[in-house]
């Protein structure tokens, strides 16, 4: 999610509140950049345009992405990471500098159509344990004041993308909605400030996480086909968790005097790998259902007009933290290289089209040698090493590569490391257990990747792979070892 969680992809006809909040029809999505082999920004912008997206949400002011978005006709929401909230909260000049460098300069020099600044990303998540509780609102106020000083406040609106766990229901029904008691007063202060400045409230809703977190959750209630047993709330019957979740928020706003507050859905989608419930079939089912609602102009029982919504996400990101789950790296409707995972009807009889102009490394893979034994004592440590520095989440239980045999498991791990290291000489050396092959070892739903050739694209410098040790979980490595030895 934009690194987040909770209830309830593609996106939709945007129609909302005032000024820029009141709107324009279009498709919106999130563009995350936590990838070891990112697509060139110009290729991503063309991918957006080719698929009808005219609104995009960035999680940070990435220079390459912002420059590429200049004069593109795409409206931009640019994010401020949580680790910047404290300095922006404590120093107004820091906020002025941030707006100048990341908003004013791109608007004036590159003609980027920035419409929103997202201050923080789900800063009140319970898992953050109040880390950003005292800095989010001051940072929000300073950024707003800095936009006023820059003469941009009428066009560029502030917002705070929040996880749906900022509200709850006392009676288990949407009508019981209210904001969490521990942050109630703070939420009301933030909402009033946004309202006073004609700015929207932004909420992320994830039906996938509702289904994933509760083994007893009725599967049909996560989707939009209307076949779920309804949840009856007075005169209203809810047949999907998205409507129930969204109307819980609307009830909370109504209870606190903000019944007409504009709301944006900042993230919503379905992952395709890393968990038994994360697969292309479910993702297509969910996202096509969401699109159909938007095309039909269908809102919720409490808000008949569809909210502005940003699909999460455009492309997969193999460098994201897996702490929320292995699925975290697989939210894209496109793979990391802009190829299509599954088709969607995006309106007017059009279907998705893949990225153009992508250059790849050589057509070769690193695999377990035919002469190597799976009982070799160094095999487990070699796999563990490979999966510390490369993404092995597709090997987990119920994932796209979970049905590989022990030899194929090892080959997958070795190849992911080899590709992540740009097929460099020596990167397919695992204690004499591996060889390079020109035969594609992909099996069924399991893709043995070839990475993008970064040397053939002009892109920003890559981050060090050393940081992946922090985002890789030992659970993935241990699961791999157990899978292998489980076949002995």
CA 341 to chain centre: 16
The CATH superfamily label for domain 27-334 reads Glycosidases (3.20.20.80)
Q: Is 267 a catalytic residue?
A: yes
Query: Looking at residue 408, what is its pLDDT?
Result: 98
317 touches 34 (CB < 8 A): yes
Catalytic residue from among 122, 243, 328, 449: 122
Instruction: Please give the C-alpha separations between residue 250 and each of 11, 220, 231, 240, 260, in angstroms, as whole numbers.
Output: 20, 23, 17, 16, 9
Q: Is 18 a catalytic residue?
A: no
Among residues 331, 467, 325, 451, which one has the least CA distance to residue 396? Answer: 325
Query: Looking at residue 98, what is its pLDDT?
Result: 98
Q: In whole angstroms, what is the distance from residue 272 CA to residue 282 CA?
A: 8
Query: Looking at residue 316, what is its pLDDT?
Result: 98
Among residues 87, 71, 63, 223, which one has the least CA distance to residue 146? Answer: 87
3-state secondary structure the chain: CCCCCCCCCCCCCCCCCCCCCCCCCCEEEEECCCCCCCCCHHHHHHHHHHCCEEEEEECCCCHHHHHHHCCCCCEEEEEECHHHHHHHHHCHHHHHHHHHHHHHHHHHHHCCEEEEEEECCCCCCHHHCCCCCCCHHHHHHHHHHHHHHCCCCCCCEEECEEEHHHEEECCCCHHHEEECHHHHHHHHHHHHHHHHCCCCEEEECCHHHHHHHCCCCCHHHHCCCCCCCCEEECCEEECCHHHHHHHHHHHHHHHCCCCCCCEEEEEECCCCCCECCECHHHHHHHHHHHHHHHHCCCCCCCCCCCCEEEECCCECCCCCCCCCCHHHHCCCCECCCCCECCCCECCCCCECCCCCCCCECCCCEEEECCCCCCCCCCHHHHHHHHHHHCCCHHHCCCCCCCCCCHHHHHHHHHHHHHHHCCCCCCCCCCCCCEEEECCCCCECCECCCCCECHHHCCCCCCCCHHHHHHHCCHHHHHHHHHHHHCCC
Q: In whole angstroms, what is the distance from residue 309 CA to residue 223 CA?
A: 17
Query: Looking at residue 484, what is its pLDDT?
Result: 45
* Residues pairing with 315 in the sheet: 334
Q: In whole angstroms, what is the distance from residue 394 CA to residue 193 CA?
A: 43
Q: In whole angstroms, what is the distance from residue 182 CA to residue 203 CA?
A: 18
Q: In whole angstroms, what is the distance from residue 44 CA to residue 51 CA?
A: 11
Query: Looking at residue 476, what is its pLDDT?
Result: 45
Query: Looking at residue 14, what is its pLDDT?
Result: 28
Query: Looking at residue 25, what is its pLDDT?
Result: 58
Query: Looking at residue 386, what is its pLDDT?
Result: 98
Exposure string of 199-221, with b = 16+ CB inside 10 Å and e = fewer, is bbbbbbbbbbbbbbeeeebeeeb
pTM, to two decimals: 0.89
Catalytic residue from among 243, 267, 317, 328: 267
For residue 31, give both structure tokens: 């563009």
Among residues 15, 6, 36, which one has the least CA distance to residue 463? Answer: 36
Instruction: Please give the C-alpha separations between residue 343 and each of 51, 219, 351, in angstroms, as whole numbers.
Output: 12, 22, 6
In the chain, ranges of CATH 3.20.20.80 domains: 27-334
* Residues pairing with 446 in the sheet: 443
Among residues 359, 317, 358, 348, which one has the least CA distance to residue 334? Answer: 317
Neighbour tally for 173: CB within 10 Å: 18
Angle, vertex CA 209, rays to CA 389 and CA 345, nearest 5: 90
pLDDT values of the chain reduced to their tens digit, one per residue, 488 residues: 654 433 333 332 222 333 333 333 578 999 999 999 999 999 999 999 999 999 999 999 999 999 999 999 999 999 999 999 999 999 999 999 999 999 999 999 999 999 999 999 999 999 999 999 999 999 999 999 999 999 999 999 999 999 999 999 999 999 999 999 999 999 999 999 999 999 999 999 999 999 999 989 999 999 998 899 999 999 999 999 999 999 999 999 999 999 999 999 999 999 999 999 999 999 999 999 998 888 888 999 999 988 989 999 999 999 999 999 999 999 999 999 999 999 999 888 899 999 999 999 999 999 999 999 999 999 999 999 999 999 999 999 999 999 999 999 999 999 999 999 999 999 999 999 999 999 999 999 999 999 999 987 754 444 444 344 444 444 444 444 444 444 33
Q: In whole angstroms, what is the distance from residue 221 CA to residue 229 CA?
A: 8
């Amino acid at each position: 999610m934009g690194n987040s969680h909770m209830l309830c992809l593609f996106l939709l006809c945007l129609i909302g509140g005032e000024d820029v909040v009141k709107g324009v029809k279009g498709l919106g999505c999130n563009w995350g950049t936590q990838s070891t082999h990112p697509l060139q920004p110009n290729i991503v912008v063309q991918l957006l345009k080719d698929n009808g997206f005219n609104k995009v949400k960035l999680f940070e002011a990435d220079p390459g992405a912002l420059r590429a978005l200049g004069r593109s006709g795409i409206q931009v929401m640019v994010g401020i990471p949580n680790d910047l909230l404290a300095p922006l909260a404590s120093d107004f000049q820091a906020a002025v500098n941030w707006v100048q460098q990341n908003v004013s300069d791109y608007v004036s020099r590159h003609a980027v159509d920035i419409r929103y600044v997202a201050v923080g990303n789900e800063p009140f998540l319970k898992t953050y344990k109040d880390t950003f509780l005292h800095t989010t609102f001051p940072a929000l106020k300073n950024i707003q004041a800095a936009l006023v000083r820059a003469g941009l406040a009428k066009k560029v609106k502030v917002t705070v993308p929040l996880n749906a766990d900022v509200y709850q229901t006392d009676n288990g029904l949407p009508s019981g909605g209210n904001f969490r008691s521990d942050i109630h007063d703070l939420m009301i202060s933030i909402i009033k400030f946004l309202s006073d400045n004609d700015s929207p409230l932004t909420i992320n809703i994830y039906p996938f996480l509702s289904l994933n977190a509760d083994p007893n959750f009725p599967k049909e209630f996560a989707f939009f086909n209307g076949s779920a047993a309804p949840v009856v709330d007075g005169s209203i019957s809810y047949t999907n968790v998205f409507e129930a979740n969204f109307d819980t928020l609307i009830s909370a706003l109504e209870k606190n005097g903000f019944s007409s507050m504009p709301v944006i859905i900042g993230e919503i989608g379905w992952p395709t790998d890393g968990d038994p419930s994360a697969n292309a079939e479910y993702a297509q089912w969910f996202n096509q259902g969401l699109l159909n609602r938007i095309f039909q102009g269908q809102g919720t029982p409490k808000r008949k007009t569809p909210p502005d919504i940003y699909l999460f996400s455009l492309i997969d990101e193999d460098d994201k933290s897996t702490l929320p789950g292995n699925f975290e790296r697989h939210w894209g409707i496109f793979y990391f290289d802009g190829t299509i995972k599954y088709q969607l009807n995006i309106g007017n009889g059009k279907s998705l089209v893949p990225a153009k102009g992508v250059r790849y490394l050589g057509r070769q893979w690193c695999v377990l040698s035919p002469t190597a034994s799976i009982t070799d004592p160094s095999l487990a440590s070699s796999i563990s090493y490979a999966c510390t520095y490369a993404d092995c989440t597709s090997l987990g239980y119920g994932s796209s590569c979970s049905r590989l045999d022990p030899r194929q498991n090892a080959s997958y791990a070795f190849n992911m490391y080899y590709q992540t290291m740009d097929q460099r000489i020596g990167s397919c050396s695992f204690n004499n257990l591996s060889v390079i092959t020109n035969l594609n070892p992909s099996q069924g739903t399991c893709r043995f990747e070839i990475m993008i050739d970064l040397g053939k694209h002009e892109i920003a410098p890559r981050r060090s792979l050393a940081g992946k040790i922090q985002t890789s979980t030992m659970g993935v490595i241990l699961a791999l070892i157990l899978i292998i030895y489980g076949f002995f």
